[in-house]
A and B are shown apart, each in its own frame.
Chain A
Amino acid sequence: MTEAQGQVHTNGPANRQTPTAGPPHPVTQAQAGANAQPGGDLLQVMNLKKYFPIMRGIIFSRQIGAVRAVDGVSFSIRRGETLGLVGESGCGKTTTGRLILRLLEPTAGKVIFDGQDIFALPADKMRAMRRQMQIIFQDPYASLNPRMTVGDIIGEPMEIHGIARGKERERRVKELLDVVGLAPHHARRYPHEFSGGQRQRIGVARALAVNPKLIICDEPVSALDVSIQAQVLNLLQDLQREFGLTYLFIAHDLSVVKHISNRVAVMYLGKIVELADKSTIYDDPRHPYTQALLSAIPIPDPTVKKERIILQGDVPSPVRPPSGCRFHTRCPHADERCSAEEPQFADVGGGHWVACHYQERLRRRVIRKEEETRRSAPAAPAVG
């Protein structure tokens, strides 16, 4: 079976890096040749923006505003790594994924994939480039064409990119079905004959069919039963190890991302507010929004008392985002400065990027709180 998988995927061995090694470039310098080395960035996203226009009028329509779905996002993903992208619904994380694949045209910004500015590519080059980057969708019921057999769904991309046709295509389809844990004879069936988890596996096989380097996982387990979620997550991890895949893993809660990511970016209202190694994000969150998200993860231990940060109000409209720091309307620590001045997204050391004026103070607060709890409850088991 391993042999078969090796034939399907001709990618080199996984270049997995320790998350802390090497300088991170959330805001990347334009260096075209930098990704030639195996450990470099596979993907660089620079100041990406997508404003959806709001039009009024029927024939002579004019723009009366814009939804700032993605408003200046920068990050990079190293080869073989998994970057988790987390945020509430409507924060622009899905749009970011679509922009990277050029399923949407950006308002501004660049996406450099493997040394190539993909928005500068002409249509035919772009179509060839699509082989390198794939997507796994959230809804396994909407992401498979109901009128195509599973064999055609997985086999079509091979044909289009000239990877395999005829008997060879059939053989590879069966191999891929095997790789994702389905049976070869499933190729003749239609999507409606499968369960949600199985469909998601078909979606994974379709993405793998073209031997991509990058896979954007757009909440691939959010629509699945909890019991199936772990199966699919494990499958994704196994495939990454086996084929040296790089993932951008989009999710709306930090607990799923924790399982699979090397680094995590937290998004709020079209901007990334914090980006760091997984361990840093979970142990030393600096941005109050990240802290709130983390406090929402339930801990399956009744003896551990945790301060829950409940955010007040709703996410503001991305049509008219708040002035200054976008989070100030809901932030428990905000003051005048936050509503007047937008915080810089800056490296606070060790590749930990935060966009908050008071990130240092907030960190100490967290530490002081921990000390207090430790002192006031000496009977509690020592953590870590």
Chain B
Amino acid sequence: MEDMQLELAEPAAAEPKELVQSPWRLAVRHFARNPLAVAGLVFIAFVTLMALFAPVIAPYKFDAIDLFNIKAPPSAQHWLGTDELGRDELTRLLYGARVSLSVGLLATLLSTLIGLVVGAVSGYFGGWIDTILMRFVEAMLSFPSLFLLIILASLIPTGIDVKAMVLILGLFGWMGLARLIRAEFLAIKQKEYAEAAVALGVPTWRIMLRHFLPNALGVIIVSMTLGVGGNILSESALSFLGVGIQPPTASWGNMLTNAQDYVWNAPWLAVWPGLAIFLTVLAFNFVGDGLRDAFDPHSKR
């Protein structure tokens, strides 16, 4: 078909303003055809908005205690009920979303940055640099990460805040991505367009940024999306174990900690944060899967 276009002498003056089918645009179109992924994206957008506007939306202050109204079931005053100190559950859920989402996003951003640099350098340059970096990655992976995180968290004297949480999760979560990017760079290195760039005299940093990175971006975005879900889970787990975000700051994880004592007489205290974690992580996974399909050249229909 394209050959025919070539032969049909096109009027040189009138350059048709046709829709350029960039690979990104194709990926977006493919993504939009996946209902689960789109639903996930809508849900994430919803949670993000809720978290952003929590101070405006929330009916109470996040640490407002009402001792006359503890462990109240859902009602008109407290839509989702109250906890053991009479704090409004909906309010705490909204504020918890801020913590969970920002920890999830920022920690993923940090680990992506580290993983990207390590993986790119390792895959591009190879040789002894690659050997050293990859042995380091393997050493990091051999640590029992949950225990390590618990120990680290308990070592921080001022208690864990969002910043510390991001650092802990980010600094210990980049290895998988580093390996992924290394593999991707190794594969791209074998492509002739990589050789062409060298042969054209393109500077090394520019080859990595303009020729390698855009071709690895699909993998990076997918892994980031899945990483956010994973980091939300990790944050919840650490907070649940009491070494994460400390009360009175609400996080979905520490809300669950308190809830386990009252799971028989106030089950909603466990249900709401549990459901929030479950749905958010699920949404991120759906989006991640949708993106993977969208970027995968083999799944083109």
Binding site for B on A (CB under 8 A): 59, 98, 101, 103, 127-131, 133-135, 137-139, 142-149, 156-157, 160-161, 181-185, 188-190, 192-195, 197-198, 203, 206, 209-210
Contacts and interface: CB of A to CB of B under 8 A. Distances in A.
A59 B203 CA distance: 31
Interface centre among B22, B197, B199 (most CB of A within 10 A): B199
A103 B199 contact: yes
11 contacts: A134-B200, A137-B195, A147-B215, A148-B210, A148-B211, A149-B20, A156-B202, A156-B210, A183-B6, A184-B12, A190-B20
Interface residues of B, number: 32
B196 interface: yes
A156 B191 CA distance: 18
Contacts of B215: 145-147
Interface in B16-61: 16, 18, 20-23
Contacts of B22: 149, 190
A56 to B, nearest CB: 15
A377 to B, nearest CB: 45
Contacts of A195: 2-3
A159 to B, nearest CB: 10
B201 A145 contact: no
Contacts of A134: 199-200
B131 interface: yes
Given A137-B195, A190-B22, A183 B10 contact: yes
Nearest to B26: A192
A171 to B, nearest CB: 13
Given A139-B192, A198-B3, A188 B20 contact: yes
Contacts of B12: 183-184
Given A184-B15, A198-B2, A137 B200 contact: no
A127 B202 CA distance: 8
A142 B15 contact: no
Contacts of A184: 12, 15
A206 B200 contact: yes
Contact of B196 (A135, A146, A183, A188): A135
B271 interface: no
